[in-house]
Chains A and B, each alone.
Chain A
Amino acid sequence: MSAVDPLVQVRGLVKHFPIRRGVLIQRKIGAVQAVDGVDFDVGRGETLGLVGETGCGKSTTARLVMRLLEPTSGEIRFDGEDITHLRGARLKALRREMQMIFQDPYSSLNPRKTVGSAIAEPFAIHHMLEGRHERRRAVQELMETVGLNPEHYNRYPHEFSGGQRQRVGVARALALKPKLLIADEPVSALDVSIQAQVLNLLREMQRELGLTMIFIAHDLSVVRHMCDRVAVMYLGRIVEIGSGDALYGSPRHPYTGALLSAVPVADPSLAHRARTTLSGDVPSPANPPGACRFHTRCPKAQELCSLEDPPLEDKATGTLAACHFPLTEEEIARIGVRSAA
Chain B
Amino acid sequence: MSAAEPLLRVEDLRVEFATEDGVVHAVDGITYEVARGRTLGIVGESGSGKTVTAMTTLGLTRMQGAQISGRIFFEGKDLVALSDGELRTIRGNEIAMIFQDPLSSLHPLFRVGDQLVEAIRAHRDVSKAAARERAIELLGLVGIPDPARRVREYPHEISGGMRQRAMIGMALANEPKLLIADEPTTALDVTVQAQILELLERLQRELDMAIVIITHDLGVVAEMADDIAVMYAGRIVESASAKVLFGGPEHPYTWGLLRSIPRLTGSREEQLVPIPGTPPSLISRPSGCHFHPRCPYAQPDHSRIDPQLEPVPGEPSHHAACLLDASLRARLWAELHGGATPEEARASVGLPAPETPPAEALR
State the A residues within 8 Å of B (CB): 53-54, 147-149, 161, 163-164, 191-197, 199-200, 218, 220-222, 224-226, 228, 244-245, 248, 258-269, 271, 275, 277-282, 337-341
Contacts and interface: CB of A to CB of B under 8 A. Distances in A.
Contacts of B217: 192, 264
Interface string B193-237: 111011000000000000000001111111100000000000000
Contacts of B222: 264-268, 271
B189 A197 contact: no
B363 A161 contact: no
B63 interface: no
19 contacts: A53-B190, A147-B362, A163-B278, A164-B362, A192-B216, A193-B256, A193-B275, A196-B259, A197-B274, A248-B265, A259-B191, A261-B194, A263-B219, A264-B193, A266-B218, A268-B222, A271-B223, A277-B191, A278-B195
Nearest to A200: B272
B266 A339 contact: yes
A225 B55 CA distance: 36
A147 B363 contact: yes
A258 B190 CA distance: 9
Contacts of B263: 221, 224, 265-267
Contacts of B261: 192, 195-196, 221, 266
A196 B273 contact: yes
A247 to B, nearest CB: 12
Q: Which of A191, A195, A258 has most chain B Cβ within 10 Å?
A: A191
| Interface residues of A, dominant DSSP | loop
Contact of B191 (A226, A258, A266): A258
A53 B279 CA distance: 30
A9 to B, nearest CB: 24
B246 A267 contact: yes
A148 B45 CA distance: 22
B193 A262 contact: yes
Interface residues of B, number: 52
Contact of B267 (A164, A263, A339): A339
| 10 nearest A-B pairs in the assembled complex, by CB-CB distance | A264-B219, A225-B262, A196-B274, A196-B260, A262-B194, A193-B275, A266-B218, A53-B189, A196-B272, A197-B274
B75 to A, nearest CB: 29
B219 A340 contact: no
Q: Which of A148, A261, A263 has most chain B Cβ within 10 Å?
A: A263
Contacts of B270: 225
B300 interface: no
B342 to A, nearest CB: 13
B331 interface: no
A248 B270 CA distance: 15
Interface of B: 45-46, 145, 159-162, 189-195, 197-198, 216-223, 242-243, 246, 256-268, 270-276, 278-279, 361-363
B260 A195 contact: yes
A210 B363 CA distance: 21
Given A191-B216, A196-B272, A224 B145 contact: no
Contact of B45 (A54, A191, A267, A339): A191
Contacts of B276: 197
B214 to A, nearest CB: 14
B246 A268 contact: yes
Nearest to A161: B278
Contacts of B194: 261-262, 264, 275, 277-278
A193 B276 CA distance: 8
Q: Which of A196, A220, A224 has most chain B Cβ within 10 Å?
A: A196
Contacts of B160: 54
A221 B260 CA distance: 12
A339 B274 contact: no
B264 A265 contact: yes
Contact of A194 (B262, B266, B274): B274
Given A194-B278, A218-B190, A199 B272 contact: yes
B265 A340 contact: yes
A338 B246 contact: no
Contacts of A199: 262, 272
A266 B265 CA distance: 11
Contacts of B159: 281
Given A197-B274, A225-B262, A264-B223, A341 B162 contact: no
A189 B192 CA distance: 19
Given A163-B362, A224-B266, A265-B219, A192 B278 contact: no
Contacts of A200: 271-272, 274, 363
A197 B191 contact: no
Contact of B264 (A147, A149, A224): A224
A264 B274 contact: no
A86 to B, nearest CB: 34
B260 A192 contact: yes
B264 A260 contact: yes
Contacts of A277: 191, 194-195, 198
Contacts of A262: 190-191, 193-194
Contacts of B265: 248, 265, 337-340
Contacts of A193: 45, 256-257, 260, 274-275, 279
A264 to B, nearest CB: 3
Given A244-B268, A264-B194, 11 more contacts: A53-B189, A192-B216, A196-B274, A200-B271, A200-B363, A218-B190, A220-B264, A224-B262, A248-B264, A339-B265, A339-B267
A261 B218 CA distance: 16
Contacts of A226: 262
B304 to A, nearest CB: 24
